[in-house]
Structure 1
Amino acid sequence: MKLLNRNFTLILIGQIISLFGNATLRFALPLYLLDRTGSSSLFGIVLACSFIPMVILSPVGGLLADRVNKRNIMVFLDFLTAFLTGLFLLLNGSLSPQALVLIVMMLLSGIQSLYQPSVQASIPFLQEKGNLMTANAIINQVSALANLIGPVLGGIVYEAFGVTQVVLISGICFLLSAVMELFIRIPVNKLPENGSILSIVKGDFAESIHYIHREKPVIQKVIIIVALFNLVLTSMVIVGIPVIIKIHLALSGQLYGYAQGISAAGGLAGGILVGVLANRLRAEKVWKLLLAAAATLLPMALCLLFDAPPMVSYLVIVCCYFLMMVLATMFSVQMLSFVQSEVPGSLIGKVISFVMAMSMCSQPLGQALYGLLFDWAAPQWIILGSMAAAAVIVIASRKAFSHINNTAEENLG
């Protein structure tokens, strides 16, 4: 089976369109809230709340991916998201911006948590095992490309016309993606349904825990490491970058859009590097990527500490953000490919969704705390504290990654 077969290509095109709309919407709504309120605390709390449905519903996404036609899930959810953007346009002005953005962001988060496991679980059915890392790298490149273009164009449209036009463009993207996905054909590996949806979810959740704990404890260790890293560093970046650019540096939403686009370019570059270096990357060294990602925070903190001119600080932040995303994407693709290669096809949807949920479960807490911290303390000290905590976590986790390599070698043998 060739890498760029018909169905995989259709998934790529659908992903480009859908993720462009998603990236534009996720950029515009929090920026709209920050512009209207100017509150870091409220911004962090809304972002935290928007992550909760993603964590809770990710196991359901895995359940659906293992039991329902994955193509149908993607099509339905894209149509649903298009409908949601229409509701936002109808209700904007009738509800407070805080309530409206919170509701829409939570719904978008829940939809995305159901959508993404279907995309990821479909890849092993459309690719040979030897192509998995390259295919995942391509999917990440598509995501990064959409995340690059979305915020840049979203920032331009937002500054020129406002949030309404941004939401309208996003809705059109979701409609086009849903139509494109109608033509995808993915082999169905439907499992028997025994009991209610709730009992099935609980059973699948328990099965995932048992499988990871008993059969693949190394995956359990990686989940804990990534969850802690997300708590202390990823949450800080998600809340801190927009707050620093918009409030502390007093720069425009358009410049913030450029920053988000450039960070997405870093994700694209990281995906390309993984694809090029797929046969040379070694899992026992992957912890160094996380350590280097933490180190990229140091120049950001120094610029703010020594009160560099706003545009100088902005350029340093953008460059470091780019490099951080290169490193984080390389780590993510390697870990996802490892999980896909270790888990049987009948379990892959539920296990991937479980891994995603547990890895992200710390982010709502982290985002809420960092929102409060950015209203209370100077950003440079928050950044330095985040960097130090992340470095300690990564250095302490080196042995876990050597176990990943040993497991991979056993499977190859």
Structure 2
Amino acid sequence: MTQKPNARKLWNRDFTLLWQGQLVSDLGQAAFTVILGFWVLDITNSTAIMGIILACFTLPRVLFGPFAGAFADRSNKRLLIVFSDLLRGILFVGMGALILTKKFPFWLIYPFALLISFFGAFFTPAINASVPEIVHKDNLSRANSARGISQTASSLVGNAFGGVLYAIVSGPVFFVINGICFIYSAISEVFIRIPHVKRETTIRNILHDMTDGFKYAWSIQGIKILLGTGMFINFFVTMGVTLLQPLFKYTEGFGVERYGYTMASLMLGAILGMLILSFYRIKPAKRFSFYKLATYGLIVCMLIAGFTKSFGVIMVLGFFAGICNSFISVITQTVMQITVSKENRGKVFGIQATIYEGLSPLAMALSGIVAHFAGVRPTIIGSFMLAALVVLPTLFNKTFGRFMNSDGSANQPKQVMAGSAPVNDG
């Protein structure tokens, strides 16, 4: 028996449970990422090893993304979400506890990272495919903004206080705390009601669904452009962002504390942008205009930030970059949820996660190696410039513009499939 989402109520019981559970786990994970980076740098004094370990926390999500997405479409999404969080929580607690008891050789962090990332591969497509099931289409943009606010607020607190927490408690202690956050999220997610239609789940069926998912995604020109450019944009941005921690750690006048302030400025901007979108509904015909404006703004902020050595300027740019990035994220996520059919959501979101993060492990590992020879700042500048060059052509693509402005009407499948969904004038 399925439930129909209430068109007039965003904060229904199920979305509220999902939102607050993610808030807690995201809060722990954001601080964990910062603390992990500094902990590895202190242990190894190597940006290359730091990049490789961060890559291990990403690689399985990339490799198993399409399989996880196809599996999510056929499985009970609620149970998939619950067990993904629960198993990751247990692994984090176990890793931290073993390190504290000095029974954890450093090399063991690699298999732990790979397992944690593997379970995370199932979480993302299951969550993204579930939101349209518990929230009405008219509230999707607001729902994505609300989820973005919790994720960004968590990143704000985690990044701002991660360095402080690292000075107060050891890295392994916080690994345990992070695990407890995931376990709490799993417990709260048990009570979420997500409609589920039983379908036979076999390896053969899932592999067939994976193939269908790729064919479906590639048959829609707008999705093809979004996924193709997103892969390379994420590659270059990941290279630059990975090096921010060593940049602040080793640059005179910056330091760990100012890294936290910069991340706080970025996240405050993102929260403001998502708050705006949580109250203001962008008409379909205006989405691409907002997307282009936000993209231009983000490019300008990234390039200036790469060259300036003024901490004050970086703080201001970080704030405006956060606003722009939140608009881009919410708009693209909403368009994907609206235009992708219900039976293909998990598959397409799994493919999206794989393609977006497909080169991220390589980017993380490569960033440390390139920075070793070229320097940290030049590598960051070059990475951001290449990301800008990749995204600019999409802003002048009319087919992509029509896709971004699509209203996802059920009676327009042929037009959407052709990548030429008509512009809705509001």
TM score, norm. by length of structure 1: 0.89
267, 272, 278: which one aligns with 1:269: 272
One-letter amino acid of the counterpart of residue 176, structure 1: Y
1:180 maps to what in 2? 188
CA RMSD of aligned residues (A): 2.3
Report Cα offsets for 1:319-341 as digits up to 9, x if no partner: 43333232222112111111111
CA distance in 2, matches of 1:254, 1:203: 50
> How many residues of Structure 1 are paired with residues of Structure 2 in the alignment?
399
CA distance in 1, matches of 2:198, 2:292: 37
1:396 maps to what in 2? 393
Superposed counterparts of 1:13-412, under 5 Å: 13-92=20-99, 93-97=102-106, 99-193=107-201, 195-196=202-203, 199-214=204-219, 216-232=220-236, 234-249=237-252, 252-280=255-283, 281-304=286-309, 312-313=310-311, 315-398=312-395, 399=397, 400-405=399-404, 407-408=406-407, 410=422
| Equivalent position SS for 1:266 | helix
- Decide which moves more: 177-186 or 277-286: 277-286
| Equivalent position SS for 1:282 | helix
Deviation at 1:144, TM superposition (A): 1.0
| Equivalent position SS for 2:57 | helix
- Quickly say closer, same or farther: Cα 1:211–1:192, change in 2 above 3 A: same
- Seq. identity, %: 27
TM score, norm. by length of structure 2: 0.86
Indicate if the aligned counterparts of 1:231 and 1:366 stay in contact, CA closer than 8 A. Answer: yes
Indicate if the aligned counterparts of 2:402 and 2:422 stay in contact, CA closer than 8 A. Answer: no
Deviation at 1:257, TM superposition (A): 3.7
Deviation at 1:291, TM superposition (A): 3.3
Unmatched runs of 5 consecutive residues or more in structure 2: 1-5, 408-420
Deviation at 1:162, TM superposition (A): 1.2
CA distance in 2, matches of 1:301, 1:153: 24
CA distance in 2, matches of 1:302, 1:383: 9
| Equivalent position SS for 2:341 | coil
Deviation at 1:293, TM superposition (A): 1.6
Report Cα offsets for 1:136-156 as digits up to 9, x if no partner: 111111111122222334332
CA distance in 2, matches of 1:265, 1:109: 27
Report Cα offsets for 1:119-144 as digits up to 9, x if no partner: 11111111111111111111111111
Indicate if the aligned counterparts of 2:88 and 2:179 stay in contact, CA closer than 8 A. Answer: yes
Unmatched runs of 5 consecutive residues or more in structure 1: 305-311
CA distance in 2, matches of 1:298, 1:209: 34
